[in-house]
Chains A and B, each alone.
Chain A
């Protein structure tokens, strides 16, 4: 079975531009979470979606938005990019919402560089 897949793997943008990152969860998983990992730091929670509804949001500005589609895939959108948005963006899927004791399955991430 395929794991969590993310696209693209690498992306270079300039300040002020907009970016869309995509994630396909493991088959059967209904929950998708997005994390931002800045170099040298641990992942920071951005969003959790379950059954197409936002279940939780981290401390990120409104420039960050996301959605989940009927097939449970998800998009993360970032508007008006700043240099500080440069990071590895990780998508994680799990069977149910929570996460409580749910194990997260991570994709390999999208490396975003903002110049």
Chain B
């Protein structure tokens, strides 16, 4: 069965510091992987997605993620955090022939001034 595990329900960084949000997946078939961001009182917005074209994926707002098959990971990074990055981040997986996207429990990112 497919599943997603996000390590750390809360991550706190200082403004300008590296952001690293961890995601590991479990899938018996090649996965499609996504990172979504949710701001308070809003729906989810796609940051980036991996669809096997390239292992390093660049998304919006300076975020990127690297697919590592050997580690079954898809960690999200940003070199320099900004106050506006404070939000909830969800890693998600889907797969060919499936009809649903499976979300992790989310990681809330706090950015300190």
Which residues of the other chain, A, contact B51 by a CB distance below 8 angstroms? Answer: 101
Interface residues, chain A, with chain B CB atoms under 8 Å away? 4, 33, 35, 40-45, 48, 55-56, 58, 90, 92, 97-104, 106-109
Asked if A99 meets B99 with Cβ closer than 8 Å, knowing A42-B104, A42-B106, the reply is yes
| Nearest CB of chain B from residue A51's CB, rounded to whole Å | 13
CB distance from A5 to the nearest CB of B (A): 10
Min CB gap B3→A, angstroms: 11
Q: A56-B99, A56-B100, A99-B94 are in contact. List 13 more A-B contacts (CB 8 A).
A: A33-B100, A35-B103, A40-B105, A42-B103, A42-B104, A48-B99, A92-B44, A101-B32, A101-B51, A106-B36, A106-B45, A108-B43, A109-B43
Residue B82 interfacial (CB < 8 Å): no
Identity of the chain B residue whose Cβ is nearest the Cβ of A6 in the assembled complex: B43
Q: How many residues on the B side are at the interface (Cβ–Cβ under 8 A)?
A: 28
Which are the 8 A-B pairs with shortest beta-carbon distances? A56-B99, A106-B43, A42-B103, A45-B100, A101-B51, A106-B44, A101-B32, A108-B43
Partner of A98, one of B46, B49, B94, B105: B94
Cα distance A2–B4 when bound, in Å?
31
CB contact between A100 and one of B4, B45, B98, B104 (< 8 Å): that residue: B98
B41 interface residue (CB < 8 Å to A): yes
Q: Nearest Cβ in chain A — how far from B26, in angstroms?
A: 15
- Which residue of A41, A92, A108 is within 8 Å of B105 (Cβ)? A41
Q: In the complex, are the beta carbons of B101 and A41 less than 8 A apart?
A: no
Query: Most chain-A Cβ atoms within 10 A of its Cβ — which of B49, B99, B102, B106?
Result: B99
CA distance A35 to B42 in the complex (A): 14
Q: In residues 14-56 of chain B, which contact A (Cβ within 8 Å)? A: 32, 34, 36, 41-46, 49, 51
B99 cross-chain contacts in A, Cβ below 8 A: 48, 55-56, 97-99
Complex: A84 Cα to B32 Cα, angstroms = 31
| Complexed CA–CA distance, A110 and B97 (Å) | 29
